[in-house]
Structure 1
Amino acid sequence: MLEIAKEAASVAGAFLKERFLEQLVPDEELHNDVKLPEDKESERRIIEIIHGHFPTHTIFSEEVGMVSRDEEYLWIVDPLDGTNNYFIGYPYFSVSIALQHRGELVLGVVYNPVAGQMFWAEKGKGAYLNGKRISVNKRTDKARAVGTYIRGRNSITKEQELTFTNPFVMETKRVLRNVGPALDWCLLANGWIEYIVMQRSGIMDVAAGIVIAEEAGATITDWQGVPYQHEAFESEHMRSLVASNGLLHETIRVMIHE
């Protein structure tokens, strides 16, 4: 199943890369989002490959929603995570594919076709980037820590976002707002950054990244410090999480003020 997920991500990613530098015409452009035909075509190719090998599996994908079949296996697909970045020619986007088996996340694949970065992990088997095993870093100095901030669409105002992120801007080296959350978790997994703060965001965008980060040794909790437990996927379920290299976890967590 991991190999099929990687194949689907590769095929969809190749299509997205081919279209990337074109002047894209959106189906719909909203205040905080954009809908592109490339989203739908990437999704079509992924579903075709997964159902070609596993016709009885259920798939949830961003554009078509739930394609319900046997619910023992549920594929959670974001065919273009970072659509706004893709639309403006900013090469921070990915194809994200996760698999849930009987309510438990068991594998994740995140592919950035422009950078040629294929991240993947299976539960209990470690995390990898292009075949090389990866792990979180060991940085302990808050002042040198780099993190990312993830928030759900329309979940808080921009004014609330500025107030919330101010401590991280002031007290750590840098906090990024990449608007491509699947890849953010992979940055943590590969030791490129030290922390992630996620506020009221859907699990669909980050399910694959969470598997990869966990297998790379990341510590993931809710804002109160309770260890992360995956709950059976629901498309509207929003979560607020903090993740880190472990050594900085409590330092970062106590900086969170709702």
Structure 2
Amino acid sequence: MEHFIKTIVKKAGAEIKKRFGKSGVKYTKTHSHDVVTEADLASNRILIDAIQKRYSSHGIISEETGEYQKDAEFVWIIDPLDGTNNFARALPLFGVMAAVAHGKQIEYGAIYDPIHNQLLYAKRHKGAFLNNEKIHCSKTKIWSESNGFTSCWMKPKTMLVNRRLLESNAKKEWSLYRALWSIAIETIYVASGRCDWLISTSGGLWDYAAPPFILKEAGCTVTNFQGEPWKLGQKDLIAATPALHPQLLKIMHGG
């Protein structure tokens, strides 16, 4: 299964890359920024066809086509194109995400960035790897020396998160942070130690399957907003280096 999950995300990513800068919005979903392109659908077809051919008894939950045999022993949770809005505007910040759940636990996770050829992969209790090289989160310990990612959706909880970060910076406890509009790419950067933390408060199950699993395997502390160990199905995510996580959690609670 390890080789298979790597192969299919790369195959889907190659199809997306061929369409980059050429494939516009096909339709919108919940609002004008929630878009679907031909690349989303093409990637989705590649992933689902491959999974059903190889593992016909497995279930699939996809952002684009919903649930299929979701109560199966093994369930694939896929986002065929995370960062679709970036893709549609020819911004090279997007990726393919896939995870395999056995019951309530993720066993395998993979994220592929086709533009920069970055394949992030993890297997439970075996660590995280970027292009087959074992990686680890950064060793940053001081909040004012850290870099991270946050969400920018105009929703109450997301706005509260960003207010807390601004309040912290106003106290001269500076951290640099940004939103890339792709948790796939943000996860690659944090897991590989190029950035130090990630907060996410909105998305679907497919957004919160591979990323938290891989971040934990890369050595991050990964919890919900109450500081409890993150579990599949939760949609509030704080992931950071072990030294930064309690500082970030305190900031999120107004401390």
Counterparts of 2:157 and 2:71 in 1: how far apart (Å)?
39
Render the CA deviation track for 1:138-193: whole Å, top value 9, x for unaligned.
11121110010136x66438865653442365533311111101221222111111
Contact in 1 for aligned 2:165/2:251 (Cα 8 Å): no
Match in the other structure for 2:224: 222
Match in the other structure for 2:3: 3
SS in 1 for 2:206: coil
Q: Give the aligned residue type for 1:185.
A: T
Residues 183 and 102 of structure 1, relative CA distance in 2, 3 Å threshold? same
The runs of at least 4 consecutive aligned structure 1 residues that moved more than 4 Å come to 157-162
Contact in 2 for aligned 1:182/1:206 (Cα 8 Å): no
Contact in 2 for aligned 1:200/1:240 (Cα 8 Å): yes
Contact in 1 for aligned 2:23/2:38 (Cα 8 Å): no
1:31 to partner: Cα distance:
2.8
Contact in 1 for aligned 2:212/2:239 (Cα 8 Å): no
Q: Give the aligned residue type for 2:250.
A: V
1:202 to partner: Cα distance:
3.0
Q: Give the aligned residue type for 2:119.
A: M
Match in the other structure for 1:253: 249
Contact in 1 for aligned 2:220/2:242 (Cα 8 Å): yes
Contact in 1 for aligned 2:225/2:249 (Cα 8 Å): yes
User: Which moves more between the two structures, 178-187 or 194-203?
Assistant: 194-203
Counterparts of 2:86 and 2:204 in 1: how far apart (Å)?
18
Counterparts of 2:169 and 2:9 in 1: how far apart (Å)?
34
Match in the other structure for 2:180: 178
Match in the other structure for 2:84: 83
Match in the other structure for 2:27: 27
Count how many residue pairs are aligned between Structure 1 and Structure 2.
251
Match in the other structure for 2:240: 244
Render the CA deviation track for 1:24-75: whole Å, top value 9, x for unaligned.
2432373331121211111001111111110111001011100117610000
Equivalent residues in 2 for 1:79-118, closer than 5 Å: 79-118=80-119
Counterparts of 1:168 and 1:7 in 2: how far apart (Å)?
43
TM-score normalised per structure 1: 0.89
TM-score normalised per structure 2: 0.90
Counterparts of 2:237 and 2:168 in 1: how far apart (Å)?
15
Counterparts of 1:24 and 1:41 in 2: how far apart (Å)?
13
Match in the other structure for 2:198: 196
Counterparts of 1:41 and 1:249 in 2: how far apart (Å)?
38
Counterparts of 2:165 and 2:40 in 1: how far apart (Å)?
30
Contact in 1 for aligned 2:97/2:112 (Cα 8 Å): yes
Q: Give the aligned residue type for 2:80.
A: P
- For structure 1, the 5+ residue unaligned runs are none
Q: Give the aligned residue type for 1:87.
A: A
Match in the other structure for 1:68: 69
Q: Give the aligned residue type for 2:239.
A: A
Render the CA deviation track for 1:97-134: whole Å, top value 9, x for unaligned.
00001221111000000000000000011100000000
Match in the other structure for 1:15: 15
SS in 2 for 1:255: helix
Q: Give the aligned residue type for 1:96.
A: M
> What CA RMSD, in Å, does the superposition of the two structures yield over aligned residues?
2.1
1:79 to partner: Cα distance:
0.0
Counterparts of 2:23 and 2:168 in 1: how far apart (Å)?
36
Matched, 1:148 2:122: no
SS in 2 for 1:71: coil
Counterparts of 1:35 and 1:115 in 2: how far apart (Å)?
22
